[in-house]
Amino acid sequence: MSGRFSRGVDGADTRLIRSINRNALFTVIRGNMPITVSQLSARTGLSLSTVNSVLKDLMDVNLVLATGITASTGGRKPVAYSLNLRDICVCGAELNARTIRVALFRLDGSIIRMSTLQAENIEPLALASVVADTLGDLVTRTEIGLDHIIGLGLSQYGIVGPEGNRIRLDIQHGWREVSLGSMLQQRLPIPVFVVEDTLAKLTAELEFGGEKNRQHVLYLLFGSSHGQGVSGRFVSDGSILNGAQGFAGQFGHILIDPCGPRCSCGRRGCWEAVGDVSRLLEKVKDSLGPSPEASNGLLETLARIRAAAEKGDAAMCAVLDWFVGVQAEGIANLIHTFNPKHIVIDGAVVVLGDIFLERLKIAIEQKVMKPYLEGLKVEFSAMGDNGALLGASAIVLREAISIMEQGLASRAMRR
């Protein structure tokens, strides 16, 4: 088998360039379908011949269809193209603190069907079996053949290897060096990719989050599905910075207070040890009472904090101000490091609403040097609960297209 990318005579990574063009074209079609070749060329900056060539590749693997003739003022009427929303889909899955969710998405990101199962303290082998069985069940209920599902992307908390197979460290479940991707792949005949939850959610934000600045984005995830941790990524010139091993963005281990509490990493005073969402919950436990035991207990407690602060509860406002102060300290470090244009706040803190966000903006303004604030926008993610599922499915879609480039998946995807 040849390497993943073949080099052209001019030394260019021709397959990589082709892959970038394909992703760009795919994204533009998704946002503007039906669309003609000339419109695609105008929007992507690619030549007409390149657009035609990439379109042919996408049509060969049944991802894009010629869906009709567009209106024309005269002469030959151009053909319009759309994603195949009819009979091709992609699967996203997510392991939360207490649940597993598996969903089938159309290529435009709309959900066909989703299943949620209880899964507390689940082991990796059992997780792989549950996900495979649930996908099998979805296939039966939707009557979509497995050979029409491009692949499965699983969003996973923790540090995940860039190869989309191995979980290097998941503190919440106590997993180290778990080849979850292989376990799933043994049970499924479609490409499987395991992806860090932060990366999945950021991908959803970038691909489906609407018209925001995507060139210089600081993405921050406060409170994963477990309510713990501070993580994120920086998008520089439109590219996600993943680092040498793909582990970038563990912002929660930036030092905030050298005398602070011990962190899960072993050091003292890391951002997430000093003040992540779990610390906020601890501080309000006495005044609000213990968190409900239901699977959404974390979000319910945050909603109660918000409601109390909105009513002017002095103690709750003070706790919220402390929480905002810690986050602003960490964010100020990152603003001075990365100089973002747009900060997207995601995770459980979104439930705290404007009473948190407005305080955070003020605190950031007080801690950051003026030139960095010019044009800076701080907003919540618009993705809601399904970001991780959608992002994981978007990532496996891209990976599966790469696999198809190597001709390995053409059998399954051809009509």
Contacts of residue 203, defined as CB under 8 A and 6 or more positions apart, other chains included, come to 195, 240, 391, 392, 394, 395
Q: Of 200, 10, 34, 2, give the one whose Cα is nearest residue 105.
A: 200
Q: Give least dist CB 237 to Zn ion, A.
A: 29
What is the spatial distance between Cα 393 and Cα 386, in angstroms, rounded to a whole number?
11
Among 265, 288, 317, 357, binds Zn ion (CB under 5 A): 265
User: Alpha helices, DSSP H only, in 92-179?
Assistant: 124-142
Structure tokens at 397: 């879609």
Q: How far is the CB of 254 from Zn ion (least distance, A)?
A: 8
Q: Does 263 bind Zn ion (CB under 5 A)?
A: yes
Per CB under 5 A, the segment of 98-106, 156-164, 252-260, 380-388 that binds Zn ion is 252-260
Which tokens belong to 327?
């986050």
Stretch that binds Zn ion, among 258-266, 284-292, 307-315, 370-378 (CB under 5 A): 258-266
Q: Which residue is listed with tokens 């929007």?
A: 43
Binding residues with Zn ion: total (CB under 5 A): 4
CB of 231 vs Zn ion, minimal distance in Å: 11
Q: Given the rule CB under 5 A, which of 109-117, 265-273, 287-295, 406-414 is the region that contacts Zn ion?
A: 265-273
User: For residues 40 and 263, which CB has a smaller minimum distance to Zn ion in the complex?
Assistant: 263
Burial-class residue 316 by CB neighbours within 10 Å (0-12, 13-18, 19+).
Answer: buried
Query: Any bridge partners for residue 82, and if so which?
Result: 65
List beta partners, residue 178. 167
- State which residue, 212 or 253, has the beta carbon closest to Zn ion: 253
Among 18, 214, 216, 253, binds Zn ion (CB under 5 A): 253
Cβ pair 23, 410 in contact under 8 A: no
Contact range with Zn ion by CB under 5 A, out of 43-51, 81-89, 91-99, 263-271: 263-271
Q: Report the residue number, 168 or 253, with the smaller CB distance to Zn ion.
A: 253
Of the pair 106, 253, the CB lying nearest Zn ion is at 253
Q: What is the CB neighbour count within 10 angstroms for residue 375?
A: 8
Pick out residues in 373-412 that bind Zn ion (CB under 5 A): none
Considering beta carbons, is residue 274 or 309 the nearer one to Zn ion? 274
| Residue 341 makes contact with Zn ion by CB under 5 A | no
Mask for 269-298, x = binds Zn ion (CB under 5 A)? -x----------------------------
Nearer to Zn ion, 270 or 334 (CB): 270
Which stretch in 25-33, 68-76, 186-194, 266-274 sits in contact with Zn ion by CB under 5 A? 266-274
CA dihedral 268→273→275→279, nearest 10 degrees, is -130
Q: CB 250 → Zn ion: shortest distance, Å?
A: 8
**Cα–Cα nearest to 130, from 143, 146, 115, 145:** 115
Residue with tokens 């778990």: 178
Only one of the segments 231-239, 251-259, 350-358, 398-406 lies at the binding site for Zn ion (rule: CB under 5 A); that segment is 251-259
| Helix (H) / strand (E) containing 230 | strand 230-236
Q: Is 276 helix (H, G, I), strand (E, B) or coil?
A: coil
Which residues sit at the interface with Zn ion, rule CB under 5 A? 253, 263, 265, 270
